Amino acid sequence: MNEDDPRPTPEPAATDEAIALARLAAEAIAEKKGLEPVAMDVAELLQITEVFLVASGTSRRQVQTLADEVREKLRDDAELRPLRVEGLEEGEWVLLDFGPLVVHLFQPDPRAFYDLERLWADAPRVDVSDVA
C-alpha cells in the first residue's frame, strides 16, 4: 500500500517471464541512455500481451539504437526474437513485439502526442527503476 494511495497494490497479472523480459529490455535501454522507461502490466486489460514498456530517445538515430540494443539483449539473454517490428526506418515510434512484452520506443514529441501512459493509466506499473 502506498501512503498517497489508500488502495492496496494489486498483485501483478503479468507472468514472471514477461516481467523479467521487461526488466531486460529496460536494462538495454538504460545502457544506451534511453529516457523515462515506464513498464505497465496490461495482462488484465489486453489478451495480446502482458507488459508494455515505453521509453524515449532524443533523436531518430537514438530510437533506432535503443531498438537494436533491446533486440540484441533479448536475443542474447532470453533467446527471444521479436515477432514483429514496426517503425524502425522512421525512428519516431518503434514497436517491438516479443509476445508477452511489447516495447514502444519514441522520440519526445510522438510520445507526448500518443501518451500511452495516460491511455493505459489503469494498468499497474511494473518497477524497472532499479535497472534503468
Q: Report pLDDT digits (tens) over 16-34.
A: 899 999 999 999 999 999 9
Our CA angle for 55, 61, 63, nearest 5°, is 15
- Count of structural domains, the chain: 1
- Using CA atoms, how far apart are residues 25 and 35, in angstroms rounded to an integer? 13
Q: Is residue 44 part of a domain?
A: yes
In a domain, 62, yes or no: yes
Q: Is there a domain that residue 5 lies in? A: no
CATH number at residue 78: 3.30.460.10
> Residue 4 domain-assigned?
no
Containing domain of residue 72, as a range? 18-125
* CA–CA separation, 39 and 55 (whole Å): 9
Q: Is the pTM of this model over 0.85?
A: yes
Chain segment 70-117, per-residue pLDDT in tens? 999 999 999 999 999 999 999 999 999 999 999 999 999 999 999 999
* Residue 59 belongs to some domain of the structure: yes
Alpha carbons 122 and 85: distance in angstroms, whole number: 26
**Has residue 85 been placed in a domain?**
yes
Burial 40-69 (b: 16+ CB within 10 A, else e): bbbbeeeeebbbbbbbbbeeeebbbbbbeb
Give the pLDDT of residue 130: 84
The residues near 43 (Cβ < 8 Å, ≥ 6 apart) are: 12, 13, 14, 15, 18, 49, 50, 51
